[in-house]
Structure 1
Amino acid sequence: MTTNADEIPKRARRRAPAGAAVLREDVTEAIRAAVFEELAAVGYARMSIEGIARRAGVGKTAVYRRWRSKLHLVLDVVSAMAVLGLPAPDTGSLEDDLRLLYEVTSRALRHPVASQIIPDLQAEAARNPDIAEAFQKALRDGQEGVASKIIAAAEARGEVRPGIDPDLALDMISGPLYWRAVVIRSPKLPKGYLANLARATAGALKAL
């Protein structure tokens, strides 16, 4: 049985999923980056699909083909923050692990974009339970993954007792810095603050 060569590409085209080649990853990433920039510039309430598309250099259709609305777009981007997370330090000691974590986290929280977006999303979360859930998950998952690895390493070294309360440990590790940087938004940390915080937190964890 012979096959007409002209029929092969037609069959291939019929088997190809519709739109598979259209949703280019570079366009998707450009839109996600534009969301962060737009949130920092105008806030969630004033943010629009038109503004995001303009900033990303794409048409509105490119945005709507990926997300149904501004809310779904922001929820997706905020949720993706949890996946990125922070690298878990592995210095060989609990205090040094905490100090390195605090240095990286402090720089991230004080980045101009993050310092604008986080307070705005916190305010919006008070009015929108969907954003509240996604925002809390993004923050908690990112910190929880790193904190659990730090505690597990400290347990293996015998620096903390086995089976300490993971939620209490997470609160002790993450709470003070978030209070300073996100809640009261202290413009500048005192000299030696992160080292002192790491020393105090390590001592408190060892006492649990």
Structure 2
Amino acid sequence: MPRGRPPSAAVDHAVRRAVFELLEEVGYRDVSVERVARRAGVGKAAIYRRWRSKADLVSAFVFDDLQPPPDQGSLRADLTVLAGDLVAFLTGPAVSRAILGLTADLRGDPALADRLIARHRRCLTVVLDRAVARGELAEPPDPAWAHAQLLGPAYAWLMLFDGAADPDLPARLAADLVNVLR
């Protein structure tokens, strides 16, 4: 029989709201478990029972809703939707304030980094498997390499070079990846 109280959805909701508010207000560097707890109106212990660290806490909410796109009928169309989701994700107010600091913290926690990367890579793998099933690709490419070919340029363009998230960016990213995969 499990001991202790079951997790509270109200606590999770309050913590989620606090994380996003603080990311937008102060950025990742100045978010702390203590500040999140205070903002959410919960004890730090309630947070540490659920998440091991600030990076784990922030990433749980920032990366929680990545899903494969619906089948668009072609590899290029599927990748365009996936790239559009990626661009929207990277340019969202909370993510854009968190991603650089979170990336630095993830270097110190390879297991957490692997879990987060795996979420997005699963979405891409679904798209690649569809392309193989449709005969657009002869065999499944290495998902890690394909993921790097999509995420790397998007991340560099938006986060490092401060490039614009133009409406044609997802299609350009998708076209480039299709060329690499073929």
Letter in 2 for 1:67: Y
Check conservation: 2:83, 2:170, Cα contact below 8 A: yes
Check conservation: 1:35, 1:52, Cα contact below 8 A: yes
Q: Deviations over 1:7-53 (max 9, x none)?
A: xxxxxxxx995434xx4211122113312332343344433444213
Check conservation: 1:40, 1:113, Cα contact below 8 A: yes
Q: Secondary structure at the match of 1:65?
A: helix
Letter in 2 for 1:26: A
Check conservation: 2:29, 2:101, Cα contact below 8 A: no
Report the CA distance shift for 1:134/1:16 in structure 2 as closer, same or farther (over 3 A).
Answer: closer
Q: Secondary structure at the match of 1:51?
A: helix
Check conservation: 2:79, 2:174, Cα contact below 8 A: yes
Percent identical pairs in the alignment equals 27
Report the CA distance shift for 1:81/1:39 in structure 2 as closer, same or farther (over 3 A).
Answer: closer
Q: Could you tell me how far 1:110 is from its partner in structure 2?
A: 0.7
Check conservation: 2:150, 2:177, Cα contact below 8 A: yes
Q: Deviations over 1:132-161 (max 9, x none)?
A: 5424531x1122101111110000111111
Task: Report the Cα distance in structure 1 between the residues aligned to 2:153 and 2:16, rounded to whole angstroms.
Answer: 30
Task: Report the Cα distance in structure 1 between the residues aligned to 2:149 and 2:29, rounded to whole angstroms.
Answer: 33
Q: Could you tell me how far 1:164 is from its partner in structure 2?
A: 2.7
Check conservation: 1:39, 1:117, Cα contact below 8 A: yes
Partner of 2:79: 98
1:27 to 8, 11, 26: 11
Moved over 6 A (4+): none
Partner of 1:149: 126
Letter in 1 for 2:90: L
Partner of 2:137: 160
What is the alpha-carbon root mean square deviation over aligned residues?
2.9
Check conservation: 1:89, 1:97, Cα contact below 8 A: yes
Letter in 2 for 1:116: R
Give the aligned length: 182
Partner of 2:30: 46
The normalised TM-score by structure 2 is 0.81
Larger Rg: 1
Partner of 2:175: 199
Q: Could you tell me how far 1:111 is from its partner in structure 2?
A: 0.9
Check conservation: 1:43, 1:117, Cα contact below 8 A: yes
Report the CA distance shift for 1:175/1:67 in structure 2 as closer, same or farther (over 3 A).
Answer: same
